[in-house]
C-alpha cells in the first residue's frame, strides 16, 4: 500500500450554510467549498467546530460529505471531523468517510465525560482505530479543550504516535496555546500540527507547523495562502500582519456567527448568517460594528 504524506497547507474549516428550516443549503455549501479551493485552499477541513458539525445529526454529516464528493470535490482534499462521544458513532462516521476516500479525519476526544484518564482516552482511540480497520486511515487529533473539555496532552500524543505511527499523523490545535503547539513541534518532528489561527501561523511555521486550519479562512483564504507560500520571503511579516488583523478583529465576536455574517454580507445572501441552535447569529449592532471595523482594516491595507 502506498504511504501518503500527512496533509500540509491551508485547510479551511468550511462553514455550513442553512436554509430557513435549518436543513443544510447544499447549493450554497458546494459553491462555498469550491470557491475556497479556487481561492487557494489546499483542501477543506469540513465538519468541524466552525462547520457546526456537532449540531448536525449523524446522517446529515454523512450526507454532507457525499454531496461534496458527488459535486466533484476530490475526496483527497477533504479532512472531515468524525469525532463523537461514543466509540460506535465515531467508528460509523470514520468508516463512512474513509470509504469515500478522504485524505484523513479530524478526531475530537470523546467529549461528554470529563476528568477522564489518559489511559481511558488511549483506549478510546485504540478501539476506534481497531474497529475502523483500515490500514491507510490518517487521523489528525483535534485539540479544542475550550469546547470539548478534554485536551490531548503531549504525553498522550506521544503514546498514540508510538503505538499508531502510520495512523495518528497530525493534530489540529484550536487551544490557542502557543506553548502547547511548540512543545508538540519540538517533541515530535514530522508530526503535522495545524494551529487554528493565521495570527499564530508565521511563528508556528518557523517551528515546523504543517499549515493552518482557521475559521477565518472562510473569509480570507487568499491572504492565508499568501502567508503560507511566502513565510520564508522578505514580505512575510507584512503578510502575517495583514492576515492577522482580520483574524484578531473577528475573534472579538462569537467566531462562527461572525464568519457567517461576513459571508452573508459579501455574497449579499442574508441566509448565510443563519446558525443552528444553540448558537446565535450576530445581533444587528454586532454585524454593523464588524462590517465597519473590517472596512477600516481594508482601507488601511497597502494597495
Residue of 16, 172, 216, 228 marked catalytic = 172
The answer to whether 124 contacts a copy of itself (rule: CB under 8 A) is yes
CB 209 to a copy of itself: min, Å: 26
CB 208 to a copy of itself: min, Å: 30
Stretch that binds a copy of itself, among 84-92, 173-181, 198-206, 243-251 (CB under 8 A): 84-92
Write 283-288 long-range contacts (CB < 8 A, 24+). 286/253, 286/257, 286/258, 286/261, 287/261
The answer to whether 283 contacts a copy of itself (rule: CB under 8 A) is no
CB 187 to a copy of itself: min, Å: 23
The answer to whether 80 contacts a copy of itself (rule: CB under 8 A) is no
Stretch that binds a copy of itself, among 104-112, 169-177, 239-247, 288-296 (CB under 8 A): 104-112
The answer to whether 156 contacts a copy of itself (rule: CB under 8 A) is no
CB 178 to a copy of itself: min, Å: 21
Element containing residue 71 per DSSP (H, E): none
Residue from 6, 85, 208, 222 binding a copy of itself (CB under 8 A): 85
Q: Does the active-site annotation cover 180?
A: no
The answer to whether 109 contacts a copy of itself (rule: CB under 8 A) is yes
Chain centre to alpha carbon of residue 48 = 6
In 3D, which of 26, 8, 3, 291 has the Cα closest to residue 170? Answer: 8
CB 147 to a copy of itself: min, Å: 6
Q: In the numeric block, which cell numbers belong to residue 151? A: 485536551
* DSSP bridge partners of 106: 81, 140
Stretch that binds a copy of itself, among 3-11, 27-35, 141-149, 235-243 (CB under 8 A): 141-149
Residue of 112, 162, 206, 296 marked catalytic = 112
Q: How far apart are CA 133 and CA 3, in angstroms?
A: 16
- Residue corresponding to grid cell 460529505: 65
Q: Does the active-site annotation cover 113?
A: no
For residues 257 and 281, is the Cβ–Cβ distance under 8 A? yes
The b/e string for 34-68 (b: 16+ C-beta within 10 A; e otherwise) is bebbebbbbbbbbbbbbbbbbbbeeeebbebbebb
Nearer CB in complex with a copy of itself: 98/121 = 121
For residues 170 and 148, is the Cβ–Cβ distance under 8 A? no
Q: What angle do CA 120, 125, 129 make, to 5 degrees?
A: 145
Burial class (CB within 10 angstroms; exposed 0-12, middle 13-18, buried 19+) of 202: buried
Residue of 142, 180, 188, 228 marked catalytic = 142
The answer to whether 59 contacts a copy of itself (rule: CB under 8 A) is yes
Nearer CB in complex with a copy of itself: 18/231 = 18
Q: Does the active-site annotation cover 172?
A: yes
Residues of this chain that interact with a copy of itself (CB under 8 A) are: 22, 49, 54-60, 84-89, 92, 109-114, 116-117, 119-121, 123-124, 126-127, 146-149, 276-280
Report, as residue numbers or ranges, the catalytic residues.
49, 112, 142, 172
Amino acid at each position: 500500500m502506498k504511504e501518503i504524506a500527512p496533509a500540509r497547507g491551508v485547510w479551511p474549516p468550511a462553514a455550513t450554510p442553512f436554509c430557513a428550516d435549518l436543513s443544510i443549503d447544499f447549493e450554497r455549501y458546494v459553491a462555498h467549498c469550491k470557491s475556497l479551493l479556487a481561492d487557494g485552499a489546499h483542501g477543506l477541513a469540513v465538519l468541524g467546530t466552525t462547520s457546526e458539525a456537532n449540531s448536525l445529526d449523524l446522517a446529515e454529516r454523512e450526507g454532507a460529505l457525499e454531496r461534496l464528493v458527488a459535486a466533484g470535490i476530490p475526496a483527497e482534499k477533504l479532512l472531515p471531523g468524525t469525532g463523537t462521544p461514543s466509540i460506535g458513532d465515531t467508528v460509523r462516521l470514520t468508516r463512512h468517510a474513509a470509504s469515500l476516500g478522504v485524505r484523513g479525519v479530524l478526531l475530537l476526544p470523546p467529549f461528554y465525560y470529563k476528568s477522564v484518564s489518559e489511559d481511558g482516552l488511549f483506549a478510546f482511540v485504540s478501539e476506534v482505530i481497531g474497529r475502523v480497520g483500515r490500514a491507510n486511515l490518517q487521523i489528525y487529533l483535534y485539540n479544542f479543550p475550550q469546547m470539548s473539555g478534554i485536551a490531548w496532552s503531549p504525553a498522550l500524543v506521544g503514546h498514540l504516535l508510538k503505538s499508531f505511527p502510520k495512523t495518528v499523523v497530525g493534530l489540529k490545535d484550536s487551544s490557542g496555546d502557543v506553548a502547547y503547539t511548540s512543545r508538540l513541534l519540538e517533541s515530535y518532528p514530522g508530526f503535522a500540527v495545524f494551529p487554528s489561527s493565521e495570527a499564530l501561523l508565521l511563528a508556528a511555521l518557523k517551528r515546523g507547523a504543517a499549515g493552518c486550519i482557521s475559521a477565518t479562512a472562510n473569509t480570507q483564504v487568499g491572504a492565508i495562502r499568501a502567508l503560507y507560500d511566502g513565510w520564508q520571503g522578505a514580505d512575510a511579516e507584512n503578510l502575517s500582519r495583514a492576515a492577522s488583523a482580520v483574524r484578531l478583529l473577528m475573534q472579538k465576536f462569537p467566531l462562527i456567527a461572525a464568519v457567517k455574517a461576513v459571508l452573508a454580507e459579501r455574497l449579499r445572501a442574508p441566509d448565510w448568517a443563519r446558525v443552528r441552535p444553540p448558537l446565535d447569529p450576530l445581533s444587528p449592532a454586532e454585524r454593523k460594528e464588524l462590517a465597519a471595523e473590517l472596512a477600516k482594516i481594508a482601507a488601511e491595507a497597502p494597495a
